[in-house]
Amino acid sequence: MSLLSLKNLFKTFGGLVAVNGVSFEVDENAIMGLIGPNGAGKTTVFNAITGNYKPDSGEVIFDRKHITGMPTHEIVRLGIARTFQNIRLFKSMRLVENVLAGCHCRMKAGVFSSILRLPSQRKEEARAVERSMRELAFVGLDSQYNNLAGNLSYGNQRLLEIARALASDPRFLILDEPAGGMNDQETEDLMEIIHAIQGRGITILLIEHDMNLVMRICKHLVVLEYGAVIAEGTPEEIKKNPLVIEAYLGAEE
Amino acid sequence: MNARIIDHPQFSLLVGVVFFMLMAMVPTGLELSGVSGGGIAQLDVLNKIGIYAVLALSLNIILGQTGLFNMGHAAFFAVGAYTTAILNTMYQWPVFSTMPAAGFLAALFAFLVVMPIIHLRGDYLLVVTIGIVEIVRIALMNNIFGITGGPNGIYGIARPALFGLVFSSVKLQYYLIWSFTGISLFLFYLLEHSRIGRAFNYIKHDDLAAAGCGINVARYKLMAFVLGAFWAGMAGTLYAANIRTIEPMSFNFYESVILFAIVILGGSGSNAGVILGAFLLVGLQDLFRGFDSARMLFFGAAMCAMMVFRPQGLLPPRRRRYNAWQLVGKFASAIRRSYPCDEDKRNDR
Amino acid sequence: MEEFFQQLTNGLAVGGIYALIALGYTMVYGILRLINFAHGDLFTLGAYLGFTLLVSWGLSGVLGGLAVAGVLILFAMGLVAIAGCLLERIAYRPLRNSDRLTAVVSALGASIFVQNAIMLVCGARSQVYPTGILPTTIIPIFGVDVSAMRFLMFGFSLLLMLLLYGFIHKTRLGAAIRAVAIDQDAAKLMGIDVNRIISTVFLIGPALGGAAGVMVGLFYGQITYDMGFSFGLKAFTAAILGGIGNIPGAMVGGILLGVIEALGAAYISIAWKDAIAFCVLILILIFRPTGILGERVAEKI
């Protein structure tokens, strides 16, 4: 049973066709990779799933619900969380506050209970802090919870984004180049974390340029070029696919 | 962990309590010090500072906490003040009973005018809000609905009374205004340290990331405006009751600029900074009354200079602190067991 | 019909002035993404400089009407251009790399400063331009008597705008300005001296504003130290109406706004005249924030 399916997605910017009829499905609790050369439209596909861009046509179906064109925050509530390619943390805020942002959509306190600090609000707040600390511990940043996000190393900032996304209790996690800027050791650790996320029953879709990571971690890959899917299959199949080799290395004359 | 008192999570609360205890002693202190006129003139200025402090605190929710460039705050203030004036002089409502109505109407007005423009960014919002405050002023001048009294405004607003106590003297007004300021400050402090306050801050830092975390950005932006306007409307009641005559020119663009400047120069997002800003801008304005014409010149130059040399304001906001140490200790082991992954290796980093 | 024609020509004359001021806003915004709030007050400065020259030097006794107007305008343009350049150096350049709110607040401060400096020097009372400098001839068009001054105003605004347009599109410096507006960093890498370009823009914009100031003085006959606020805000509205950052847009927007305002004042209500421009501003930002000639730009995520 697929958790997410894209059907014939189109998105243009002015005259440029960024996504040209993309369709694929992501199975429940899979780790799937979306790869392709720079400018192939991978991030645009992500943005269409998460509601940052409204696709011109096509459908995004998540857990049998049409979520095409829904606002981002509602999509997050339904259980799709993401990280950003160009890390978008709240840099001048503390680690724990960054993760608390993820908890926001699972909290209920309104203006009145907040402004009057009712017992229900205090309890909820304590639970959210606890949850945030758990997620920080999950990625190994718990000891730095009171530091500022901007002071973290690049690799740790990526992990913090993952913790923030996890705090929103997603069923589906979208990672946009999670290993970007990480050294080898950090990438190894990241792979463990991604496996652990899968262990929590969360489905993962990721964009990554580190082929070593992609081939080792993903069971299924989709290859995009010029906004269209050119190949799909297991890492072994993809490695042998002539179209993919051509897309990455250029055509042989 | 060092245990400096300034790092304590409740430090700002402590400072606030001390500050308001001192403020409570000011009238008696002025009387005892033998200032001419028993300190009436000074209290009058402090009353004005108090009203501006409430206004600036309410603007701080919008501008400082949420990062929305609202240059039209005087419009919400005007709606509140006129609501009180009209209900009191035409329908004989007691002044205090008009306060919720003033807040509500200002909030409703904010909701209606801001909703269609809430998606505008930065300086676009700034210009539109200037447009709104100007339209409101022009509407008041033109005696809209035949009830605002045109350019002359409305006079003869009654003194507020509570349980038979009429706040007629400057001193009683002082206690009234500063109690209101204190209560507002405390409630805003609680709001700031809640889910809502954090949502405002996330939006200020990066609204796209905030949406990506599941925050309904448009809703919270609107909420900031409505809350801020509600308080500005109530401040309008205080103002109308204090000054007893209101006219359109009291709510013009420059009023908004001064409020904006109080928040920015005091320290955007910082309640303590905003109070300091109100003291400096309103208080100094009064001190320089003699040089009336050069006052604004100095004010403009100070705004430029501050932005060049100290753009974060005089008292920038303290960062919230979280007492999560106990939580870490208590839960760390449980967490590691609950998720099947090799935690310890990562913790070595 | 006569009323309509009168208001239309009046709107064109005022619209030309709005357009001239709007050009200053739009050029600065195009390059620095900054609303130069002080621009409206530089416009006032132009009006007062022209007034001072006219009254203290007794020019009108020496030269003919149009020549006087020309000298006044050139003089005001030069001095206001210098003022604009100074303003950029003092209030904006130190903030080049800080966030937008900081720069906007500084611009507001500069606006308040310039306005009050004018008030301190020239007084808070309004000043009256001597009459009789421009011809008060009435031209009958289609049987309607229209003041020639309106055409003169409109024609002169148009001339300045065409000169600017030619400068931006036909000269090397103009090409450099366009390049900096599109991408400052890339322009820098191509060897363009960005600081010099920004200074140039702060010469041209205020110069046009200064010219508009003198024209308002000649046209309306009366100037006040705080007129820069409403003229500035309306001109900024015009810039947004046409599409901010877009030079032809500012011209179209200014003229359009002048006409809308004149017709609105005549057919809706004169008391609400000033509110009309703001309503236009709000409506355009709700329904087409990119303006008439602006292009939609997708945000990079």
State the CATH number of the domain containing residue C249. Answer: 1.10.3470.10
> Looking at chain B from residue 159 to 218, which residues have their Cβ under 8 Å from any Cβ of chain C?
208
Radius of gyration from C-alpha coordinates of chain C: 19
Partner-chain contact B297 C289, CB within 8 Å: no
**What's the pLDDT at B324?**
60
Chain segment A110-166, per-residue pLDDT in tens: 888 888 888 888 888 888 888 998 899 999 988 888 889 999 999 999 999 999 999
Give the pLDDT mean for C88-98.
89
CA-CA distances (angstroms) from residue B343 to A192, B333, B336, C284?
9, 10, 6, 55
How far is it, in rounded angstroms, from Cα A230 to Cα A19? 12
**Alpha-carbon gap: B131 to the closest alpha carbon of chain C (Å):** 5
- Structural domain of C161: 2-126+144-287
**Alpha-carbon gap: C161 to the closest alpha carbon of chain B (Å):** 25
Residue C36 lies in a domain: yes
**What's the pLDDT at B218?**
94
Sign of CA dihedral C219, C224, C229, C230: negative
Residue from C35, C93, C101 to probe the interface with B (highest B Cβ count within 10 Å): C101
Q: How much of chain A exceeds pLDDT 70, in percent? A: 98
Q: Which of B93, B53, B55 is nearest to B235 (CA)?
A: B55
pLDDT of B286 above 90: no
Residue C137 lies in a domain: no
Tokens of A135: 């997620």
**Alpha-carbon gap: A17 to the closest alpha carbon of chain B (Å):** 23
Sign of CA dihedral C119, C121, C122, C125: positive
**What's the pLDDT at A104?**
92
Render B167-208 in DSSP notation, one character per residue.
--SHHHHHHHHHHHHHHHHHHHHHHHTSHHHHHHHHHHH-HH
Q: Which residues pair with A231 in a beta bridge?
A: A223
Residue C92 lies in a domain: yes
Give the chain B residue nearest A97 (alpha carbons): B198
How far is it, in rounded angstroms, from Cα C293 to Cα B174? 55
Which residues in chain A are contacts of C298 at CB distance < 8 A? 13, 53
Which of B194, B336, B340 is closest, CB to CB, to A137? B336
pLDDT of C64 above 70: no
How far is it, in rounded angstroms, from Cα B266 to Cα A238? 60
Exposure string of C242-251, with b = 16+ CB inside 10 Å and e = fewer, is bbbbbbbbbb
> Looking at chain B from residue 232 to 291, which residues have their Cβ under 8 Å from any Cβ of chain C?
253, 257, 260-261, 264, 268
Alpha helices by DSSP H, listed for chain B, are 11-33, 40-59, 73-91, 95-114, 122-141, 170-192, 195-205, 207-212, 217-243, 253-267, 271-278, 284-287, 292-309, 325-338, 343-347
| Contact residues for B195 (Cβ-Cβ < 8 A; gap 6+) | A100, A104, A107, A109, A114, A121, A124, A125, A128
Residue C155 lies in a domain: yes
Number of domains in chain C: 1
Helix (H) or strand (E) holding A206: strand A203-207
How far is it, in rounded angstroms, from Cα B194 to Cα B179? 23
**What's the pLDDT at A112?**
87
What is the number of residues in chain B?
Answer: 349
How far is it, in rounded angstroms, from Cα C70 to Cα C134? 11
**What's the pLDDT at B292?**
65
**What's the pLDDT at B291?**
65
Quick one: pLDDT band at residue C297, thresholds 50, 70, 90? low
Chain segment B229-270, per-residue pLDDT in tens: 999 999 999 999 988 889 888 888 888 888 998 999 998 889
**Alpha-carbon gap: C120 to the closest alpha carbon of chain B (Å):** 7
How far is it, in rounded angstroms, from Cα B286 to Cα C111? 22
Helix (H, G, I), strand (E, B) or coil at A87: coil
On average, the pLDDT of chain C sits at 86
Least confident of A53-62, B185-194, C62-71: C62-71
Partner-chain contact A47 C298, CB within 8 Å: no
**What's the pLDDT at C58?**
67
Q: Is A173 exposed, middle or buried (0-12, 13-18, 19+ CB in 10 A)?
A: buried
Q: Which residues pair with A16 in a beta bridge?
A: A13
Does residue A231 contact residue A238 with C-beta atoms inside 8 Å? yes
Alpha helices by DSSP H, listed for chain A, are 42-49, 72-78, 95-103, 111-115, 119-139, 154-166, 184-199, 211-217, 235-240, 242-249
**What's the pLDDT at C59?**
64
pLDDT of C54 above 50: yes
Q: How many Cα atoms are found within 13 Å in the side-chain-facing hemisphere of C48? A: 25
Chains adjacent to A (≥3 CB pairs closer than 8 angstroms): B, C
Q: Which of A128, A127, A79 is nearest to A103 (CA)?
A: A128
Q: How much of chain B exceeds pLDDT 90, in percent? A: 40
**What's the pLDDT at C295?**
64
Q: Which residues pair with A174 in a beta bridge?
A: A82, A205
Which residues in chain B are contacts of C98 at CB distance < 8 A? 307, 311
**What's the pLDDT at B34?**
76
Least confident of A58-62, A102-106, C57-61, C295-299: C295-299
Q: Which residues pair with A224 in a beta bridge?
A: A229
Query: C301 touching A, CB under 8 A?
Result: yes
On average, the pLDDT of chain A sits at 90
Write the ipTM: 0.91
CA angle C4, C7, C10 (to 5 degrees): 150
Phi, psi of B167 (to 5 degrees): -85, 75
Partner-chain contact B301 C124, CB within 8 Å: no
Quick one: pLDDT band at residue A100, thresholds 50, 70, 90? very high
Render chain C in DSSP notation, one character per residue.
-HHHHHHHHHHHHHHHHHHHHHHHHHHHHHHH----TTHHHHHHHHHHHHHHHHHHTTHHHHS-HHHHHHHHHHHHHHHHHHHHHHHIIIIIGGGTTS-HHHHHHHHHHHHHHHHHHHHHHH-SS-EEPPSSSS---EEEETTEEEEHHHHHHHHHHHHHHHHHHHHHHHSHHHHHHHHHHH-HHHHHHTT--HHHHHHHHHHHHHHHHHHHHHHHHHHHSEE-TTHHHHHHHHHHHHHHHH-TT-HHHHHHHHHHHHHHHHHHHHHT-STTHHHHHHHHHHHHHHH-TTTTT----PPP-
**What's the pLDDT at B161?**
81
Chain segment C202-218, per-residue pLDDT in tens: 999 999 999 999 988 88
Count of pairs with CB atoms under 8 A, one residue in A, one in B: 164
Phi, psi of A218 (to 5 degrees): -90, 140
> Looking at chain B from residue 2 to 31, which residues have their Cβ under 8 Å from any Cβ of chain C?
none
How far is it, in rounded angstroms, from Cα A57 to Cα A187? 36
Q: What are all long-range contacts of A247-251, with beta carbons under 8 Å and residues at least 24 apart?
A: A247/A36, A247/A37, A247/A223, A248/A37
CA angle B71, B48, B20 (to 5 degrees): 105
Quick one: pLDDT band at residue C61, thresholds 50, 70, 90? low
DSSP state, residue B36: G
| Residue A41 backbone class (left: φ over 0; alpha: ψ -120 to 50; beta: rest) | left
Residue C135 lies in a domain: no
Partner-chain contact A91 B205, CB within 8 Å: yes
Quick one: pLDDT band at residue B347, thresholds 50, 70, 90? very low
* pTM score over 0.80: yes
How far is it, in rounded angstroms, from Cα C153 to Cα C11? 11
Chain segment B29-75, per-residue pLDDT in tens: 887 887 777 778 888 889 999 999 999 999 999 999 999 999 999 99
Chain segment A11-27, per-residue pLDDT in tens: 988 788 889 989 999 99
Render C166-188 in DSSP notation, one character per residue.
HHHHHSHHHHHHHHHHH-HHHHH
Which residues in chain C are contacts of A52 at CB distance < 8 A? 301
Residue C236 lies in a domain: yes
